[in-house]
Amino acid sequence: MKTFIKNFPMNEETPEKILVRKDNKNSLELKVIKMRIEDFIKNEESLAIIKRTEEFAKNFFEREGTHGWSHVERVLALCMHIGREENADLEVLALAALLHDIARPLEDKGKVEDHAIESAKIARRFLKSLGYEKVDDVVHAIEAHRFNGSIKPQTLEAKIVSDADKLDAIGAIGVARVFMYGGEHGRDIETSLKHFEEKILKLKDLMHTETAKKMALERHRYVEEFVKRIRREIEGEI
């Protein structure tokens, strides 16, 4: 069996690569190789606190879903790529990305009103227990990440976390998440399409950083084409 690595063809900004295995029958097995934090952050102390934070954050996610751990991983990957382009503090970004949705399961269960605010509170307590110095920077990025939240991002890192969270709602991933959410909540296709028009297709104009704006354009075009296509299929035109 031969193994080789190819860059993912749809977007050269993608945080992932594809490992392609070809056996003797010429069948293909595709496996996503996820972003490695060590490719972006080299400092051993930073990596150690990021690892402890990852272990802490994972405990809050009992199951997968539209806002499960895979969403956190994608936001982290986006933060690293955008942050590197924007010369941001990658350590702060990594911690904020890992912790930004830890209270989301509590909000989904009706136990808290705003998961961003609650996640920030939990993050503050956790990071203080580690003696971390840039707690306020991480906390602000978490509490300001919601696109419709009351707290607006003031720092570069907060803007990047907000951008990454929004980017994960558009493009092919965004389409998948909309219908995943529909399945979770018994929502029909038409209701999901209204969600695209009322929210998803507006997100590209809400990006803060130049890097995210460029990435959003391509993802936005993908969603536009998808919505046009599925509407034609619903009408029986194609």
CATH of region 37-234, choose from 1.10.3210.10, 1.20.120.1200, 3.40.190.10, 1.10.3210.50: 1.10.3210.50
Distance CA 31, CA 60 (A): 27
Lowest mean pLDDT among 6-10, 21-25, 36-40: 6-10
DSSP-derived secondary structure letter, 33: E
All residues at 6 or more sequence positions from 163 whose CB lies less than 8 Å from its CB, including other chains: 78, 82, 207, 208, 209, 211, 212, 216
| Amino acid making up residue 58 | K
Distance CA 137, CA 157 (A): 8
DSSP-derived secondary structure letter, 150: S
Domain ranges of the chain: 2-33, 37-234
Distance CA 135, CA 43 (A): 18
DSSP-derived secondary structure letter, 38: G
Look up residue 35 and give its two tokens. Answer: 């972003």
Confidence of residue 29 (pLDDT cuts 50, 70, 90): low
Please give the pLDDT value at position 110. 86
63-101 pLDDT, tens digit per residue, is: 777 778 999 999 999 999 999 999 999 999 999 999 999
100-148 pLDDT, tens digit per residue, is: 999 998 888 888 889 999 999 999 999 999 999 999 999 999 999 998 8
CA distances 111 to 57, 125, 141, 184, 232, Å, are 18, 19, 22, 19, 41
pTM: 0.85
- Count of CB atoms situated within 10 Å of the CB of 222: 18
Among positive and negative, which fits the CA dihedral 129, 102, 114, 144?
positive
Please give the pLDDT value at position 183. 86
For residues 145-169, average pLDDT? 95
Q: Bigger pLDDT: 34 or 22? A: 34
